Structure 1
Amino acid sequence: MAPAHAHYDQKLASVYDQMYPIQADTDQAVAYLAGLLPPTGRLLELGVGTGRVAVPLAEHGFHVHGIDDSEAMLAKLRERDPKGLVTSRLGDFTATGTGERFDVVTLLMNTLFAAVTKEQQITCLRNARKQLAPGGRFVLQAFDPALYHTMSRPDLSVRYLGETAIMLDTLVIDRSQQIMVGVHTILDGGPPQTRRHMLRYAFPFEIDLLAELAGLRLVSRMGDWAGGAYTSASTGHISVYERAGERDAGTRPEDAAGPGEADCTAVRPL
């Protein structure tokens, strides 16, 4: 059984956008994903969170759906999306399906690593494939773990959450299991509040192998949303996959069966 994880409750949801103040990255992500979609195309974001990417895409006229396991995060999405342009659903995004197919399915901001075993990660990828339309693209964003994998002692850092709050982050790496444990302590004038998260990181070529087991095939990989090359110096990657079998002669994409599915517990990235 996977270890227990901290849930993205109301407190963490209230500071999530301050934890990741990356507007330039957001704008580039929205532009790239919009370029993959046909006019009024359909996109599903697994682990949609506060709608940082989903809402701007919906405002561009695309049909955007999102799944998330945190009601608090979905409440923040609704604040950002008062017109209700994004169709959101509460559920474990690693296993919950919509019963629909989409031109683009996304798994952004290291969310794949929220599944803490390789078996759970395969399940997440199978769920993405299941909801991907023939000819569609699955887009995954993740950090490159090379720098973290060399850590031999705990690391302490500080995030500024505005004028009156900070977050102290302690990070510990277990290289034998490729596990990253983060402890977040919020200091905002009230009693300190601490949350613990765990990730199971994977290297890009390892993700490709897991994707193959899930019935997906790598199409392209970039070092950033602007289209920069992925190199040995890259700190992250954006990898694009298609349903395996779509290029195989005599195989209808919709009939290409992926491996079976299993349950897994979803958590959010550090």
Structure 2
Amino acid sequence: MADLHRIRPAEAADVAFLAEVTIAATRAQGRLPADFDEATWQTGFEEWSRESIDDPATDLYVVEVGNRSVGRLRVSRTADAVELNGIQLHPDVQNRGIGTAIITDLKDEAARRGVPLRLHVERDNPDARRLYDRLGFVKIGEDGAEDVLRWSKDVEQNRIWNAEVAERYDTPGTGAFADDVLGPTVERLAELAGTGHALEFAIGTGRVAVPLSERGVPVSGIELSTAMLEQLRTKADEDTIPVVAGDMATARVPGEFTLVYLVYNTIANLLTQEEQVACFRNAARHLSPGGRFVIELWVPELRRLPPGTPATVGVADPGYILLDTYDVLRQHVVSHHFHFGEGTEAQLFRTPHRYIWPAELDLMAQLAGFTLESRHADWTGSPFTADSPSHVSVYRLPTA
């Protein structure tokens, strides 16, 4: 977990510190030239910092931990992008997750606005490049001695849910594809859809949509991952199950529906509260009066999290281990899926989530005009209790 930090707008009194921390960070990386004239450089950098503070197109910040100034952050915001112009942290607070947390916040901002996050990184700065690679940035060009990198939500989702993942996602007859799992799910959704049409947010490879369609319910979908959609198309064509490629929090599907549904914890793939609320509002936009929005979601397992221990083991089978690491400040959890083969062969697949308490989910529903109609522990209608690991919640719009 990252050290607690905050950022505040830089002031004229900060310009000397901003120069000092930039030099300290660059020196620690061994990237200062042998003929570096520190005094001349600092004078020019302080003047440039003053200009940045006065520039309405740029936001210059000081990063603080406790009462101590430890870093510099410069960001530009336009209608088309969020630009990370520079981030430097003092060497004695590096490798504590602060930089990752700041960049993650900027990614969240870019995702909320529906724009990319861009930055430049020097080619002689491999440490920074490794960080940006790990955070999902891709190279889109070059600018002199720098590479131009870009992160966007669609690129991130296609990186996580890629062709390799899509190919091994379906496990017919077992796990989430077992008859005793799919049967009750499809039966309940068909009952809720009635004689109307159903819309699945994050339809994926069609685990639920295909059997629901075969059950006689007209199904449409929204999906952000190109690879998952291609896998769905091996089972059902566009005429059978039409799908709009896009973000379930914003994409619009033609038509009107009696049911919108989100299964298998997928609303948690939206990593900010704002996006999750937007998802509810998008569901409401698609529904006819009295229509229902159904969410299947796990209950956060924080009671299993001992103080000072940031992870829980969800599954520990001979060929598979699931480890969840928590950031309780941001309500984020990363699921680490370890698959083991012969000998020392192993594969790691990570999925990030934002967990939601049932009460918070109900408030999101209220903001979008829904009321809670029912909540059960599973698709068969088992009672939901304090010990239930997950729930199926049905929200409904007013009939008038």
Quickly name the TM-score band, shorter chain normalised.
0.7 to 0.9
Question: Unaligned stretches of 5+ in structure 1?
Answer: 161-165, 248-252, 254-270
1:21 to 1:36, Cα distance in 2 relative to 1, 3 A: closer
The residue that corresponds to 2:272 in the other structure is 117
The one-letter code matched in structure 1 to 2:291 is G
Aligned pair partner of 2:359 in 199, 205, 225: 205
The residue that corresponds to 2:18 in the other structure is none
- The reply on whether 1:181 has 2:331 as its aligned counterpart is no
- Contact 2:377–2:390 (8 Å) recurs in 1: yes
- Contact 1:181–1:197 (8 Å) recurs in 2: yes
Q: When the two structures are aligned, how many residues end up with a matched partner?
A: 239
The residue that corresponds to 2:190 in the other structure is 34
The residue that corresponds to 1:97 in the other structure is 252
In structure 1, C-alpha distance between the alignment counterparts of 2:228 and 2:178, rounded to whole Å: 18
- Give the TM-score, by structure 1 length: 0.79
- The reply on whether 1:142 has 2:142 as its aligned counterpart is no
**How big is each residue's C-alpha offset from its partner over 1:190-212, in whole Å with a ceiling of 9 and x where there is no partner?**
98554332111011111001111
Question: Unaligned stretches of 5+ in structure 2?
Answer: 1-106, 109-134, 137-155
Looking at CA atoms only, which structure, 1 or 2, has the larger radius of gyration?
2
Secondary structure in 1 matching 2:351: strand
Aligned pair partner of 1:70 in 202, 225, 231: 225
- Contact 1:140–1:239 (8 Å) recurs in 2: yes
The one-letter code matched in structure 2 to 1:242 is R
Instruction: Measure how far apart 1:65 and its partner are.
Output: 0.2
In structure 2, C-alpha distance between the alignment counterparts of 1:150 and 1:174, rounded to whole Å: 14
- The reply on whether 1:224 has 2:378 as its aligned counterpart is yes
RMSD: 2.5
The residue that corresponds to 1:14 in the other structure is 167
Instruction: Measure how far apart 1:100 and its partner are.
Output: 2.3
Instruction: Measure how far apart 1:80 and its partner are.
Output: 2.7
- Contact 2:176–2:182 (8 Å) recurs in 1: no
- The reply on whether 1:23 has 2:179 as its aligned counterpart is yes
The one-letter code matched in structure 2 to 1:7 is I
The residue that corresponds to 1:268 in the other structure is none
Instruction: Measure how far apart 1:23 and its partner are.
Output: 2.9
In structure 1, C-alpha distance between the alignment counterparts of 2:205 and 2:316, rounded to whole Å: 22
In structure 2, C-alpha distance between the alignment counterparts of 1:192 and 1:90, rounded to whole Å: 32
1:231 to 1:88, Cα distance in 2 relative to 1, 3 A: same
Identity of matched residues, %: 33
1:27 to 1:201, Cα distance in 2 relative to 1, 3 A: same
Instruction: Measure how far apart 1:81 and its partner are.
Output: 2.7
Higher relative contact order (CA 8 A, sep 6+): 1
- Contact 2:224–2:245 (8 Å) recurs in 1: yes
The residue that corresponds to 2:392 in the other structure is 238
Secondary structure in 2 matching 1:86: coil
| Aligned counterparts, 1:120-135, within 5 A | 120-135=275-290
1:87 to 1:215, Cα distance in 2 relative to 1, 3 A: same
- Contact 1:26–1:53 (8 Å) recurs in 2: yes
**How big is each residue's C-alpha offset from its partner over 1:152-194, in whole Å with a ceiling of 9 and x where there is no partner?**
433454568xxxxx55433201222221112334555798554
In structure 2, C-alpha distance between the alignment counterparts of 1:92 and 1:159, rounded to whole Å: 34
In structure 1, C-alpha distance between the alignment counterparts of 2:332 and 2:179, rounded to whole Å: 28
Of Structure 1 and Structure 2, which has the larger fraction of its residues in helix?
A: 2
- Give the TM-score, by structure 2 length: 0.55
Instruction: Measure how far apart 1:60 and its partner are.
Output: 1.7
**How big is each residue's C-alpha offset from its partner over 1:212-260, in whole Å with a ceiling of 9 and x where there is no partner?**
11222111111111111111121111111112xx26xxxxx4xxxxxxx
- Contact 2:296–2:393 (8 Å) recurs in 1: yes
- Contact 2:177–2:207 (8 Å) recurs in 1: no
In structure 2, C-alpha distance between the alignment counterparts of 1:117 and 1:9, rounded to whole Å: 22
- Contact 1:44–1:102 (8 Å) recurs in 2: yes
1:22 to 1:177, Cα distance in 2 relative to 1, 3 A: farther
Give 4+ residue runs of structure 1 displaced > 6 Å after superposition.
none
